[in-house]
Amino acid sequence: MARKRNEWLDWLKALIIAGLLAFFVRMFLFTPIVVDGPSMLPTLEDGDHMIVNKFTYFVGEPERFDIVIFHATAKKDFIKRVIGLPGEHVEVRDESLYIDGGKVEEPFLDKKKEELDENDVYTFDFTLEDLPGNYSEIPPDHVLVLGDNRSNSTDSRLLGLIPYDQIVGEAAVLYWPLDRFRFIN
């Protein structure tokens, strides 16, 4: 009888430890997310299931072109691409991105831009000063984010700059649907 009781206690301890470990991993390291909407097309599609690496920004800062998840509202997280970093001035002019006056290539948009007709506009011109907050450069601990589907994205052009403390983490793995499985970089 005592042996059976000890076996149950061992199982209970194992389940509690597993539960605590799962809680720790989800709270501080990784969490799943489902892409909601078309704002990251063609890179990510509505309904894609991903794993978010929450640990990355505990030890480092966002880098240009990282795909990040952030708290847009108290109840809604958004997924966008980091375009501008602290201390930079950002401008889009004639479908080209300029950081501190220098043109920066966005290879993830090349295919979509090739599909445009001569008179189509994929990214409307803007400068950092046009965004909410009227900044002349991105302040410390903030980033400018844009969706890859520039004509259909609620991003920094409407939300303003995103503080680091609102960033949940970086998109790490697209795991569903299986035919689209890949590591995000």
Question: For residues 156 and 162, is the Cβ–Cβ distance under 8 A?
Answer: yes
Query: Rounded to the nearest 5 degrees, what angle is found at the Cα of 64, between the Cα atoms of 95 and 70?
Result: 100
Which single residue is written with the structure tokens 């970086």?
170
Catalytic residue list: 39, 80
Burial, 67: exposed, middle or buried (Cβ in 10 Å; 0-12, 13-18, 19+)?
buried
Question: For residues 156 and 58, is the Cβ–Cβ distance under 8 A?
Answer: no
